[in-house]
Amino acid sequence: MIKGNILNFEVSDLESVIEKYGEKSYRAKQIFKWVHQLGYTDFSNMSNLSLSLRDFLRQNFTVSTPMLEKEVIAADDTIRWVLNLNCKNSIETIFIPENNRGTLCISSQAGCAANCGFCQTAVGGFNRDLDVSEIIGQLHFARNRLQQLNVNMDKITNVVMMGMGEPLLNFDNVVKATGMMLDDDAYGLSKHRVTVSTVGITPKLKELSKKSQASLTVSLHATTNKLRTEIIPINKKYPLEGLMNVCRNYFPKESKRKITFAYLMLDNVNDSMEDAKRLVKLISNIPAKVNLIPFNSFEGAKYGSSPMARILEFRNFLVEKNIPTTIRKTRGDDVFAACGQLVGDIAKRTKTTKLMHNIVKY
């Protein structure tokens, strides 16, 4: 008998299972807390459940996370985990510690079909979407692993869906997993501290605004359709005009929440003052902030990173125009854990040209 993985179950799913077994539905929240809030994997230790319920769970379910394949700790204490999915695929999860926060960067797919020209993940092709247990399982694994490494469990204060894959191409599973991250009976993270990052799958972005309270980062990286399509091919299907329109109305105005626009600084490609002026115009009527990202190179990359002097000039111009702007600090690049450097090990790689055809029909 194949056992079900409890990490795939939302509370409502667990309630149905428990009620069918003949127990009260509130037992589902107790199980949820044991698994997610406390990090338990052995049903036998869930002491406020009856012995018969524990036995039922043990016989029919498991708590299975992706398995550790490789762990590398960078000079700046960033941790790079390569996690095996038991299907000849490996993904990468990154923990970035800072003085007052700890950010976990989570993958949503084995590989990526978006084929962005600046990202090493695209080089490896695409295999499949991760299921809910493989997404939330990265958080479950990371918290328990940090305990083993004598790092405070509460050190994971932020989760960003910025690892391998395009989250909105795995929409349902990402929404369920981020919902668990926000659930007070699970990980209890603030909606301001769980972020979904996307290149802009416009129809799914509209749906996300209705189904998730998570924060949003949009990978913009260019201010014209011509250039953006060159570096983010999916822009051909979902161009800037439609994307900006969705962003303009993404958060209710009364919420005062802002979209973060990520902007990769590519040397002599998108880093001129004309680009800065177009960026200001493009997002001028959107509640927004900008995160400028120095490009992290990799073997075979066709771009270079803008000089820091030019990045600072770009930032200063945006700030003068009253746009909150930060420069992302590169972390973990000595162990290839920096933004855009995640590759994993993707089995049976599919050519992205075929996948792009499917995305266009998405």
Residue type, 42: D
Mean per-residue pLDDT for 289-307? Answer: 86
Whether 163 and 255 map to the same domain: the answer is yes
52 and 75 in a single domain? The answer is: no
- Assess whether 25 and 121 both reside in one domain: no
Task: Give the whole-angstrom CA distance, residue 88 versus residue 298.
Answer: 24
From 62, 91, 111, the end of a domain falls on 62
Looking at the fold, whether 120 and 231 belong to one and the same domain comes out as yes
Query: Residues 176-224: pLDDT tens digits?
Result: 999 999 999 999 999 999 999 999 999 999 999 999 999 999 999 999 9
| Residue from 15, 92, 134, 166 carrying the catalytic annotation | 92
Kindly state whether residues 282 and 320 are assigned to the same domain. Answer: yes
3-state helix, strand, coil in the chain (%, to 5): 40, 20, 40
Q: Closest by alpha carbon to 208, among 236, 181, 254, 176?
A: 176
Residue 150 pLDDT: 80
Instruction: Note the pTM of the prediction, 2 decimals.
Output: 0.89
Q: Residues 144, 29: one domain? A: no
Q: Based on the fold, state whether residues 19 and 166 are members of the same structural domain.
A: no
Residue located via tokens 């990980």: 187
237 & 305 share domain: yes
Shared domain check, 114 and 37 = no
State the DSSP H helix or E strand holding residue 358, giving kind and residue range, or none if neither: helix 352-360
Active site residue 92: yes
Looking at the fold, whether 146 and 259 belong to one and the same domain comes out as yes
CA distances from 306 to 57, 247, 329 (A): 55, 27, 14
Q: Which residues pair with 305 in a beta bridge?
A: 266
User: Residue 144 sits in a domain of what CATH number?
Assistant: 3.20.20.70
Distance of alpha carbon 62 from alpha carbon 333, whole angstroms: 36
Catalytic residue among 105, 116, 119, 339: 339
Domain span at 292:
67-360
Give the pLDDT confidence of 35-67 residue by residue, as tens digits: 999 999 999 999 999 999 999 999 999 999 999
For the record, the structure tokens of 138 come out as 């990265």
User: Pick from 46, 62, 78: which residue ends a domain?
Assistant: 62
Q: Are the C-beta atoms of 112 and 168 separated by less than 8 Å?
A: no
How do residues 106-145 score in pLDDT, each as one tens digit? 999 998 888 777 777 666 778 889 999 999 999 999 999 9
List the CATH number of the domain containing 27.
1.10.150.530
Structural domains in the chain (count) = 2
Name the most confidently modeled range: 15-19, 83-87, 329-333. 15-19
Are both 75 and 36 inside the same structural domain?
no
Q: What is the band of 155 on the pLDDT scale with cuts at 50, 70, 90? A: confident
Q: Are residues 84 and 164 in the same domain?
A: yes
